[in-house]
Each structure stands twice: as structure tokens, then as C-alpha cells.
Structure 1
């Protein structure tokens, strides 16, 4: 299995922290967001990572090259450039990493911190095909990627999903055991009208329409936090004590 991290965007809502630093390298609890994710990836037994960069990608490359054990450790990293990072949405980064979609993979947004147990749940889930990691929705927050789940299956995904239909929120983590379904859906969505401006969750939503996505619930008590604004960093520090 290969991991793919989408880390191309500017992160304008984190300004001024991202004025000269890519969002994935913003420190949270003494560690860059990217390093939180790489730690979880290693703990899940994954040995290869593709990082998709865009904004200030040279800094991401320098950070990966400076990692302890780089070149000799178990985890190998590859950096891929998304040339459309400033013009499109997150689906462009998935397209830039499409070569990594031929086998088993786990894909994640580059701005989310989570306990390693969250990623392990996605990797070890025994169901075949495409899976989306979700958390039970108590009260929707602004910019939540809403998910409708019934009987362990994802039925619909989207920020514009009817709140009365939404049961969960997405963590932005997609796993696949292989096969061509996800790549086929990617081509269909990005090739559609305004496809380059779609969130990558539109791929999952398309597959959900044909009952092709399983919902993976996060383990009880496993923390996670999307880092969109400076307040999110403070919330992680406050709740985790770091």
C-alpha cells in the first residue's frame, strides 16, 4: 500500500502562518502537520509516500530531504508537483498523483492531524474496494465535508449535503484495496464541467452513488483535528496538552 498526501494549497485561512510557509509545514504541538502524518503512516506499516505539493513546494522538498533516516529508513518519500494548485481544487492534486492509484493506496488531506489509530483503522479494514474514514456528526461546523452513511455504506458526500441527511463528517482520508474504480471515477469527475474545481470528495460521491464506498468509523476516543485556522492549532494544543 502507498500513501498519498495532498499538500498543494496555500492555506490562506491560516495566514499569517502560511505567508512564507506551506500549510503542511506549519507546526502544531511542536511538529509540522506533515510530520504528524508521516508518523501515522509509518505506524500503519506503509513504506512509500507520495506528497503532492504546489505552494512553496521547494520547502516541502527540503523538509523531506532533511528527515532523519531519509534514504536509509523504512519510509520512502516522493514529491510530485501539482501545476494547477492555484487555479483548481483538491482534485487536481489527486490527478497529479494518479500514477499511485493503480494499486492499494490511502489518500489524505495534508491539513489534518489524527491519532495513528485512525489511519490504522482504514488500512486494516477487511472490506474490499474504496473506503472513506468518517466521524459521527453531533453538530456540523463551517466547511465540514458532510457524509450520509447507512448500514456501513457511504451514500453521499459533499459540503452542500442536506444537513438533515448528514450523519457523519469526513476526515479526508480515502483508502482503496486496489482496482480501477477510483481512478475511473477520477477521470469522469475531472473531465466533467468545472471538474478541475471539484473537491476530491466528488470522486467518492460518484462512487457512493453506485454503492461502491464503505464507511470506516474512527476508533472510539481517537483524536483528530483539521487545521484550517489558527484557532484549530490552539484547540489541538488545549485538548491534547501539547
Structure 2
């Protein structure tokens, strides 16, 4: 199982931190977001990672070259990073989409057990990792799920009832279904401006997508704004303090 990390964008909502630094290299708790991700993948048993870069990709390349150990990495360039949405980065990684993969955003931190659980299930097909929705957040990718089946996914679910939020973690056990859906979505009018979850939506409407809900005692955090950095650091500092007292 390889990870595909979408890390091409600018990260304008993290300015001024991303003024001269790609978002995936922004420091959270003293380490780059990308290092958090790669270390969690190593702990979860991944075979490697494909990083899709764009904005200041030279810095990403230098950072990967300086890493000592961990999962093997490959860097792919998305030349459309400034004009296309996240689906453009998936398109740049299309050569890897027929083998088993776990696709994730380059701005999201996961505890390793989330990654282990996402790839542990042997059921074939495409899986979306979700968590129950208490109250929608500003940037949530909303999901309607019935049991373990994804019904709909999108920023706005017109005609659907949001039950969960997506973690942006998509797993495929291999085959051509995901790549075929990607080609269909990006080929539509304005397809390059779609979020890559549009591929999941298309699969949910055709061959089906399985939903996997995370346990309540694991943590993840999308790093979109400076306050998200503070929240992740606070939660993990509190966790560390609790473990030391026990």
C-alpha cells in the first residue's frame, strides 16, 4: 500500500506562514506537516509515499532528500497547481491509481491508528474514512452515509442529509474504477475546478463506496489556519501530559 499525498497548493489561509514556504512544510509542534504524515505512515506499515508538489516544489524536494530513513518517497510535479483544484493533483498522480493506494490531503495530520484502520480492511473497492458529524465546520467536506455505504459527498449536499464529515482519506484496493471515475470527472465542463471528492461522489453513484468511521479516541486535524496548529499542539500536549501522569 502506497500513500498519495496531495501537497501542491499554496495554502493562502495560512499566510504569512506560506509566503515563502509550501504548506506541507509548515511547522506543527516543531516538525513539518509532511514529516508528521510520513512518520505516521511508517508506523502504520505503508510501503512508500508519492508526494504531489507544485508551489515551491524545490523546497519539498530538498526536504525529502534530507530525511533520514522512514518510508521511501517519490515526488511528482503538478504543473496545474495554480489554476486547478485538488483534482489536478490527483490527475498528476494518475500513474499510481490502479495499484492499491491511500490518498490524502497534504495539510492533514492523522494519528497512526487511523491510517492502520483505513488500510486494514480486506474488502475490495474504494473506501472513504469519515467521522460522525455533530456540527458542520466552515470547511467540512460533508458526507451522507447509510450504514457502511457512502450515499453522497460534497461541500454542500443539496437534497441530502449530512451525517458525517470526510477526513479526506480515500483508500483503494486497486483496479481501474477510481482512475476511470477521475477521467470522467476531470473531463466534464469545469472539471479541473472540482474537488477530488467529486471522484468519490461519482463512484458512490455508480459502483459504490464503502464508509469506514474512525474510533472516538483517535485524533486528526486539517491545518487550514494558524489556530488549527495551536489546536493540534494543545490536544497532543494534553495527551502526553495524561500519559505521563498515568
TM range (shorter): over 0.9
Q: Distance in 2 between matches of 1:236 and 1:194?
A: 35
**Alignment correspondent of 1:38:** 38
**Alignment correspondent of 1:20:** 20
The correspondence for 1:177, drawn from 160, 173, 178, is 173
Are residue 144 (structure 1) and residue 144 (structure 2) matched? no
The answer (yes or no) to whether the contact 2:185–2:198 under 8 Å persists in 1 is yes
The answer (yes or no) to whether the contact 2:118–2:129 under 8 Å persists in 1 is yes
Could you tell me the TM-score, scaled by structure 2's length?
0.94
1:220 deviates by 2.5
1:19 deviates by 0.4
The answer (yes or no) to whether the contact 1:44–1:120 under 8 Å persists in 2 is yes
1:163 deviates by 9.0
Q: Which runs of 4+ in 1 moved over 4 A?
A: none
User: How many residue pairs were aligned?
Assistant: 238
The answer (yes or no) to whether the contact 1:153–1:211 under 8 Å persists in 2 is no
SS, match of residue 241 in structure 1: helix
CA 3–150 in structure 1, closer or farther in 2 if over 3 Å, else same? same
1:126 deviates by 2.3
The answer (yes or no) to whether the contact 1:40–1:115 under 8 Å persists in 2 is yes
Are residue 60 (structure 1) and residue 60 (structure 2) matched? yes
Extract unaligned runs of 5+ from structure 1.
none
The CA deviation string for residues 203-235 of structure 1, in whole angstroms up to 9 with x for no partner, is 000011125100011123100100000010111
SS, match of residue 184 in structure 2: helix
1:162 deviates by 4.1
Extract unaligned runs of 5+ from structure 2.
239-246
The answer (yes or no) to whether the contact 1:81–1:96 under 8 Å persists in 2 is yes
Could you tell me the TM-score, scaled by structure 1's length?
0.96
Give 1:61-80 correspondences, 5 Å limit. Answer: 61-69=61-69, 75-80=71-76
**Alignment correspondent of 1:81:** 77
**Between 7-16 and 32-41, the greater mean CA deviation after superposition:** 32-41
The correspondence for 1:240, drawn from 222, 236, 239, is 236
Q: Distance in 1 between matches of 2:160 and 2:93?
A: 34
Are residue 113 (structure 1) and residue 109 (structure 2) matched? yes
Q: Distance in 2 between matches of 1:205 and 1:64?
A: 33
**Alignment correspondent of 1:130:** 126
The correspondence for 2:190, drawn from 183, 188, 194, is 194
Q: Distance in 2 between matches of 1:151 and 1:235?
A: 31
